[in-house]
Amino acid sequence: MKNLDDPISKLKGVGPKKQEDLFDLNIKTIFDLLNYFPFRYDDFRMKDLSQLQDQQTVTLKGKIAVEPTVNYFGKRRNRLIIRLLVGNDVIPISFFNQPWLKKNLIVGQEILVYGKFDSNRKTMSGIKIINETKNQGYNSIYSVNSKITQKSLKQIIEQAYSEYQDVIEDFVPNWIIKKYRLENLKNVIKTMHFPKSQADVKGARRTAKFNEFFLFQMRLQTVKGQKQKSEKAKIMSDKLTLMPFIDKLPYELTAAQDKVVNEILYDLHRPYQMNRLLQGDVGSGKTVVAALAILATVLSHKQAVMLAPTEILAEQHANSLAKLFKDTDINIALLTGDTPNSARKQLLPRIKDGKINLIVGTHALFQDTVQYHDLGLAVIDEQHRFGVNQRRKMREKGAATNVLSMTATPIPRTLSITTYGEMDISVIDELPGGRKPIKTTWIKNNQVRLMLNFLKKHLKNHEQAYVVVPLIDESDSVDMRNVTDTYEKFEQTFSPTYQVGLLHGQMNDEDKNQVMDDFKKNKTQILISTTVIEVGVDVSNASVMVIFDADHFGLAQLHQLRGRVGRGQQQSYCILIADPKNKTGIERMNVMSSSTDGFFISQKDLELRGPGDILGKQQSGIPNFKVGDPISDVNILSAAKNVATRVTDEDNWQQLAKNKNLVERLNAINNNTSFD
Ligand code: ADP
Ligand code: MG
């Protein structure tokens, strides 16, 4: 019985040598081979020249009208001109520095020329002359290597198609094919390899992209097998139980906050562990959303933890949560690496017996020595600061712990679907009212005076300012001098009228806390810092952010830094100081000065630097798709994700198991490494 997962060696003519060569193209099975699609098509049919777009690459077919000429200019440079009669037009086609092409050309001969068409001048700049005219339709061009020729690959594909076409069956469920008006797989494979027209290819390619994304999403969703149903994961409280608390908040929830609270409560209510990522720009009010999830958990007689990446943040969260929860029965404790042993000894048993129902802290929270009574919810703030294993350790502290991860880094849609594909995503896409967008200006190094005058004005007005200096390497002494130099210069300029603080990563935690505390209490008015202030710090009286050598930072990081101001009612400012040396640097500064929209900025970051640079190649988790482009085809990608989520949902799981073709396809992917 023929099967698409047969190895390619089943084909006649594919011996060990050819098999190896095909392996190099990542083709192992018949399925791989049939899904190894052309990356381009040459159109060998007569063209209506008036239909061609300017600079379109096309293949023209015509007769050589007159003897081709070669003109020399300079020592080695020359140009061959072929005048090709195409229909009633004579098109001059230029080839540079390839005079030898001329000797095979005969007047009156019919040839095909592949090149770039200039529709204004009706000329072409030639790329390649194709002598065979036997293919009259659309010609598929594959990406090949030095061992395999177009011709031999095409032959093998043709052979595979004719032998296996009867066993090509759809793995995408029928209702999806109908809903998204997809084509069936057999048709897609046939059209992609042997198309008749451009329009044919377009439809087939769309389905091919969908199929590729769909399989990828299915794999993400099923890696861990069916989501485990567990009554223990259920949090009983609902919106109504939370209403008295919500009513007492000093502000109204924004519509966006309200929406994500509903999404979270819905998840918590279901007998499956929640795995949700809450995205919200700095200042969008994620803390209170987390607080509501925590309250729901505690009211349902379970424990909750709130995990933060640094001591400063953990303390800040403990304080603001204590304030929010002061009229509730929540017993809150702070547990960090700094917690003294004696206090720790008292805390641990009370955590274990459940007397304490909310624990805020750092990495200490998932250490072996800490045992929980019944951990129902783990909130992980700034989730990207924790490794996969750390997050797993936290989750495994309870029998069925729901996880709410939070991040202020806006994730472009492409990445949220690929890299974060196994998570559900909630987005707070609105800032609480009354907040004014931060005004950003970019100045050059020789304009620093302007910045100093500007600062003086705002300090006089009892506001505070951050001054950030980049540190490439915290241990590099040259860099360190940079921060301390800046610190001294600001001291000279502003002291004794204003106090200047200094914060960097080489200080011990106690000193850091002291410096932060002084700034919070307005004992210091200017804080010179490295990027250690990047995360979550909240001082609403700070209204000016100055960033030196701003072009040394990525857009996402600049956006994070800028978010440290603009947290109060007054107008806030960000001043970028940079003399960027390249175009990307200039564009980065322009993006920052013109936009405060985190999603726009992150998408730009993705375009300017590529996904690998943002998350690290290993981490980016974006596989090398063959047909689809996860950035420009993000809509198809998104549809594939929605569908895959539905297919793997509890109600459809039984259905899925019955879909033999899909199950086989998924098994084949898991055994193979086509996606890696
Ligand atoms: P982030 O999302 O950056 O963690 P926070 O939760 O720290 O933001 O919230 C920033 C500030 O906005 C806090 O001072 C908080 O009290 C305030 N805040 C949160 N939600 C609202 C709201 N709906 N209306 C007004 N202020 C709010
Ligand atoms: Mg926060």
pLDDT tens string 499-554: 999 998 888 888 988 999 999 999 999 999 988 775 556 788 999 999 999 998 88
| Tens-digit pLDDT profile for residues 332-380 | 999 999 999 999 999 999 999 999 999 999 999 999 999 999 999 999 9
Q: In which band, very low, low, confident or very high, does the pLDDT at 110 lie, cut at 50, 70 and 90?
A: confident
Would residue 185 count as lying in a domain? no
Our CA angle for 23, 27, 32, nearest 5°, is 165
Would residue 30 count as lying in a domain? yes
Q: Please identify which residue in the block is written with the tokens 């209403």.
A: 243
Compute, in angstroms, the gap from residue 313 CA to the centroid of ligand 2: 8
pLDDT at 577: 95
Q: Is the pLDDT of residue 135 over 50?
A: yes
pLDDT at 673: 40
Q: Is the pLDDT of residue 671 over 80?
A: no
Across 597-614, average pLDDT: 72
Atom of ligand 1 nearest to the CA of 428: 2
CB atoms closer than 10 angstroms to residue 622: 19
How far the first Cα of the chain sits from its last, in Å, is: 29
Domain boundary among 407, 428, 448: 407
Residues 53 and 24 in one domain: no
Q: Is the pLDDT of residue 614 over 60?
A: no
Compute, in angstroms, the gap from residue 409 CA to the centroid of ligand 2: 11
Would residue 661 count as lying in a domain? no
| Tens-digit pLDDT profile for residues 181-235 | 999 999 999 999 998 877 889 999 999 999 999 998 888 877 655 566 788 888 8
Atom of ligand 1 nearest to the CA of 286: 2
* Domain carrying residue 457: 439-595
Would strands 464-468 and 542-547 be described as parallel, antiparallel, or unpaired? parallel
Compute, in angstroms, the gap from residue 536 CA to the centroid of ligand 1: 11
Contact 577, 448 (CB under 8 A): yes
Residues 493 and 554 in one domain: yes
For residues 371 and 442, give the distance between their C-alpha atoms in angstroms, rounded to a whole number.
Answer: 51
Across 102-131, average pLDDT: 88
Compute, in angstroms, the gap from residue 121 CA to the centroid of ligand 1: 60
- The alpha carbon of residue 107 and the mean position of all alpha carbons in its chain are separated, in whole angstroms, by 55
Residues 70 and 30 in one domain: no
Give the residue, by CA position, lying nearest to ligand 1 atom 23: 253
Residues 119 and 78 in one domain: yes
Q: Is the pLDDT of residue 328 over 80?
A: yes
Tokens of 578: 């940079």
Q: In which band, very low, low, confident or very high, does the pLDDT at 615 lie, cut at 50, 70 and 90?
A: very low
Atom of ligand 1 nearest to the CA of 320: 16
Residues 389 and 467 in one domain: no
Distances (CA, A) of 328 to 138, 241, 242, 251, 291: 72, 12, 11, 18, 12
Shortest-distance ligand to the CA of residue 258: 1
Average per-residue pLDDT for the chain: 87
Would residue 628 count as lying in a domain? no
Residues 258 and 377 in one domain: yes
Give the residue, by CA position, lying nearest to ligand 1 atom 25: 432
Mutate-to-test residue for ligand 1 from 251, 260, 562, highest number of ligand atoms within 8 A of CB: 251
584 or 94, greater pLDDT: 94
Residues 515 and 543 in one domain: yes
Atom of ligand 1 nearest to the CA of 282: 3
Query: What percent of the chain stands above pLDDT 90?
Result: 54
Across 12-33, average pLDDT: 92
The CATH number given to whatever domain includes residue 111 is 2.40.50.140
Q: Is the pLDDT of residue 34 over 90?
A: yes
For residues 422 and 430, give the distance between their C-alpha atoms in angstroms, rounded to a whole number.
Answer: 25
Residues 249 and 162 in one domain: no
Compute, in angstroms, the gap from residue 347 CA to the centroid of ligand 1: 30
Domain boundary among 557, 580, 595: 595
Would residue 64 count as lying in a domain? yes
Mutate-to-test residue for ligand 1 from 252, 287, 533, 565, highest number of ligand atoms within 8 A of CB: 287
For residues 214 and 107, give the distance between their C-alpha atoms in angstroms, rounded to a whole number.
Answer: 53
Shortest-distance ligand to the CA of residue 563: 1
Give the residue, by CA position, lying nearest to ligand 1 atom 19: 285
Would residue 177 count as lying in a domain? no
Shortest-distance ligand to the CA of residue 320: 1
Across 48-73, average pLDDT: 87
Residues 14 and 90 in one domain: no
CB atoms closer than 10 angstroms to residue 279: 24
Atom of ligand 1 nearest to the CA of 538: 7
Compute, in angstroms, the gap from residue 432 CA to the centroid of ligand 1: 7
Shortest-distance ligand to the CA of residue 313: 2
Task: Report residues near ion ligand 2: CB below 5 Å.
Answer: 536
pLDDT at 476: 64
Would you tell me the crossing angle of helices 286-299 and 311-324 to the nearest 10 degrees? 60
Give the residue, by CA position, lying nearest to ligand 1 atom 4: 286
Cα R_g (the chain), whole angstroms: 32
Most confident of 100-104, 160-164, 604-608: 160-164
| Tens-digit pLDDT profile for residues 551-586 | 988 888 898 899 889 888 889 999 999 999 888 889
Shortest-distance ligand to the CA of residue 538: 1
Would residue 634 count as lying in a domain? no
Total domains in the fold of the chain: 4
Ligand 1: list residues with CB < 6 Å. Answer: 251-254, 257, 280, 282-288, 408, 432, 538
Residues 392 and 472 in one domain: no
Domain boundary among 407, 424, 451: 407
Mutate-to-test residue for ligand 1 from 538, 562, 564, 569, highest number of ligand atoms within 8 A of CB: 538
Would residue 202 count as lying in a domain? no
Give the residue, by CA position, lying nearest to ligand 1 atom 18: 285
Residues 2 and 125 in one domain: no
Compute, in angstroms, the gap from residue 529 CA to the centroid of ligand 1: 24
Give the residue, by CA position, lying nearest to ligand 1 atom 20: 285
Compute, in angstroms, the gap from residue 253 CA to the centroid of ligand 1: 9
Q: Which of 341, 313, 299 is nearest to 406 (CA)?
A: 313
Contact 399, 326 (CB under 8 A): no
Across 161-172, average pLDDT: 93
Mutate-to-test residue for ligand 1 from 288, 325, 565, highest number of ligand atoms within 8 A of CB: 288
Compute, in angstroms, the gap from residue 286 CA to the centroid of ligand 2: 6
- The alpha carbon of residue 139 and the mean position of all alpha carbons in its chain are separated, in whole angstroms, by 35
For residues 370 and 353, give the distance between their C-alpha atoms in angstroms, rounded to a whole number.
Answer: 12
Residues 390 and 292 in one domain: yes
The CATH number given to whatever domain includes residue 315 is 3.40.50.300
